[in-house]
Amino acid sequence: MEYVGGKTGRTGWEVDHRGRPAAGGRERSDAARNRRAILAAARRLFEARGVTCVTMEEISQEAGVGKGTLYRRFPNKGLLCEALLDEPTREFQRETMEIVGEPGVGSLEKLDRFLDRLVLFTEENLDLLYGGEEPLWGATRLARFRSPAYDWRRWTVLGLLRGAGREGGIRADLDLEYLATALLAPLEVDLYYHQRRVEGLSPARVSAGLRSLIPQSHSR
């Protein structure tokens, strides 16, 4: 995971965008307790009522910390959602490395497994992902396509597509860079939320639809 900048609070040490000490910083025990209390409170309230229905003031009250303490660590709900997604994201990345590194499995099969796992990750964390979009990105929503998380996913898909091309699993005439972006597009949070909550598509149907977008070699 990447540290993105740091900001110095009145405590005199820097915190990163997940409310932790920035690289090289040291966190006091009371500050660590406050962070844990804030995240636990946010998780309880988000799970009970949804991210969009919870205010920052309610989170500070539930956590038993002052609003100033909350805002120094987490200026908005998007950053709280991102902090709560930290461990699930790390686990997703670990599982992806296992998928990509598995011996004796073709790149096309690895790509299928990765996309299935990405659908599952999005499904399991949809409320945090969707609820955190607006406060995190706001008017700069296109910036998410330059984020480390998106870049990592795109390079993973592109690498597996290139491997499948070398192995003869997909057509040789494909624009793989475009295809990598196209495969990730249905899993962008707004569109996935619409597919699931408005159109009523199941995660299995989304996964199957993604696989159907990959033009396989006629020799397969």
Give the start-to-end residue ranges of the domains of the chain: 7-83, 85-212
Q: Mean pLDDT across the chain, nearest whole number? A: 85
> Which CATH number fits the domain 7-83, given the four candidates 3.30.360.10, 1.10.10.60, 3.20.20.450, 3.40.50.150?
1.10.10.60
What would the pLDDT profile of 147-192 be if each residue is shown by its tens digit?
Answer: 888 999 999 999 999 999 999 999 999 999 999 999 999 999 999 9
**Nearest alpha carbon to residue 62 among 72, 49, 75:** 49
> CB of 25 within 8 A of CB of 6?
yes
Torsions phi, psi of 15, nearest 5?
-120, 145
What would the pLDDT profile of 59-83 be if each residue is shown by its tens digit?
Answer: 999 999 999 999 999 999 989 999 9
| Residue 54 burial class via C-beta count within 10 angstroms: exposed 0-12, middle 13-18, buried 19 and up | buried
Q: How confident is the model at residue 30 (pLDDT cuts 50, 70, 90)?
A: confident
What would the pLDDT profile of 184-207 be if each residue is shown by its tens digit?
Answer: 999 999 999 999 999 999 999 999
In terms of pLDDT, which residue wins out, 132 or 88? Answer: 88
* pLDDT at 132 (0 to 100): 82
Q: What is the average per-residue pLDDT within 43-58?
A: 95
Alpha helices in 64-198 (DSSP H): 67-73, 77-84, 86-101, 107-124, 126-137, 148-166, 176-184, 189-193
Neighbours of 110 (CB within 10 A): 20
* pLDDT at 66 (0 to 100): 95
* pLDDT at 131 (0 to 100): 85
Task: Please list the residues that pair with 15 across neighbouring strands.
Answer: 7, 21
- Burial letters 111-150, b for 16+ CB under 10 A, else e: bbbbbbbbbebbbebbebbbbbbbbbeeeeeeeeeeeeee
What would the pLDDT profile of 127-142 be if each residue is shown by its tens digit?
Answer: 999 888 765 655 566 7
Phi-psi region of 138 (alpha: psi -120 to 50; beta: other; left: phi over 0): left
CATH of domain 85-212: 1.10.357.10
